[in-house]
């Protein structure tokens, strides 16, 4: 009996000593029977994750912005490097591969110019600049005679000394030759109109014109 009492006494004394030397937080847990309070640590972890996610998003946004700026710079030509053409100067070529059109392109649309190739009206904006480009050619074979075979979706290519520009046909229509409402030189986008006399391959003068309206799809921007 004495042996049992001694064991109990030593056990109680040992527990008391442990409670004295243990940290206050551990003593509280033992006495209360509750587990550790980790809510503060969890809150700190959540805050760290939120900050880390925000920083990652900022880094990704910065990378996207830098790539966009680099792409824009690579697709931009300085206007200072381009000299305004003079009348009858060869600009390059205009072509529509699907129907076999390929012609030299000149600045101006006088009778003399149209006798040797396609002519861009001098009030036009050059390719790469915002605004309308108005290009004409006769309706004979080897000229714009195949313009009547062009359909919506066909691609028109204009090759300039400073770059190649692609336009897509969006609409075609026959208009009166004197109808000035069929084009608008105040547009801000890079637009193209090709036109020729109508009916096609008609050798005499006519009072109708076939117009093809095109939107730019590729090519460097001139600034």
| CATH code, 190 | 2.40.260.10
Residues 85 and 187 reside in one and the same domain:
yes
Residues 89 and 195 reside in one and the same domain:
yes
- Tell me which residue range forms the domain holding 114: 79-222
- Asked, for residue 114, whether it belongs to a domain, the answer is yes
Residues 144 and 214 reside in one and the same domain:
yes
Residues 124 and 194 reside in one and the same domain:
yes
Based on the structure, what is the number of domains in the chain?
2
Residue 197 known to be catalytic: yes
Q: What is the mean pLDDT of the chain?
A: 84
Residues 3 and 86 reside in one and the same domain:
no
Of all residues in the chain, what percent carry a pLDDT higher than 70?
72
Residues 12 and 98 reside in one and the same domain:
no
pLDDT of residue 13: 44
Residues 135 and 213 reside in one and the same domain:
yes
Residues 66-91 have a mean pLDDT of 82
Residues 171 and 136: beta-carbon distance below 8 Å: no
- Asked, for residue 67, whether it belongs to a domain, the answer is no
Residues 18 and 115 reside in one and the same domain:
no
Residues 15 and 107 reside in one and the same domain:
no
Residue 214 known to be catalytic: no
Chain center to CA of 111: 39
Residues 194 and 88 reside in one and the same domain:
yes
User: Per residue in 92-146, pLDDT tens?
Assistant: 999 999 999 999 999 999 999 999 999 999 999 999 999 999 999 999 999 999 9
Phi, psi values for residue 168, rounded to 5°: -115, 135
Residues 130 and 144: beta-carbon distance below 8 Å: no
Higher pLDDT, 130 or 7: 130
- Active-site pick, 3, 16, 138, 214: 138
- Asked, for residue 47, whether it belongs to a domain, the answer is no
- Asked, for residue 48, whether it belongs to a domain, the answer is no
- Asked, for residue 158, whether it belongs to a domain, the answer is yes
Q: Where are the beta strands (DSSP E) in the chain?
A: 76-77, 90-96, 101-107, 118-120, 131-136, 155-160, 163-176, 190-198, 208-218, 221-222
| CB neighbour burial string for 116-130, b if at least 16 within 10 angstroms, e if fewer | ebbbbbeebbbbbbe
pLDDT of residue 126: 98
As given in the structure block, the two tokens for residue 143 are 């000229």
Residues 14 and 98 reside in one and the same domain:
no
Residues 115 and 12 reside in one and the same domain:
no
- Asked, for residue 46, whether it belongs to a domain, the answer is no
- Asked, for residue 179, whether it belongs to a domain, the answer is yes
- Asked, for residue 198, whether it belongs to a domain, the answer is yes
């Amino acid at each position: 009996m004495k042996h049992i009492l001694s064991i109990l006494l030593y056990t109680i004394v040992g527990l008391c000593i442990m409670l004295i030397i243990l940290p206050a937080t551990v003593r509280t847990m033992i006495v209360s029977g509750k587990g550790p309070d980790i809510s503060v640590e969890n809150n700190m972890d959540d805050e760290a994750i939120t900050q880390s996610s925000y920083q990652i998003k900022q880094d990704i946004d910065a990378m996207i912005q830098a790539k966009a700026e680099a792409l824009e710079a690579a697709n931009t030509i300085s206007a200072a490097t381009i000299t305004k053409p003079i009348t009858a100067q060869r600009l390059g070529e205009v072509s529509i591969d699907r129907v076999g059109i390929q012609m030299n392109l000149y600045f101006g649309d006088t009778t003399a110019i149209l006798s040797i190739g396609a002519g861009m009206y001098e009030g036009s904006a050059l390719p790469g600049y915002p605004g309308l480009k108005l290009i004409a050619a006769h309706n004979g074979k080897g000229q714009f005679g195949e313009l009547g075979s062009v359909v919506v979706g066909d691609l028109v290519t204009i090759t300039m000394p400073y770059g190649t520009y692609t336009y897509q046909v969006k609409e075609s229509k026959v208009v009166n030759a004197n109808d000035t409402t069929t084009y608008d030189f105040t547009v801000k986008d890079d637009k193209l109109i090709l036109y020729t006399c109508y009916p096609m391959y008609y050798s005499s003068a006519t009072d109708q014109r076939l117009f093809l309206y095109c939107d730019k799809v590729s090519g460097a921007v001139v600034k």
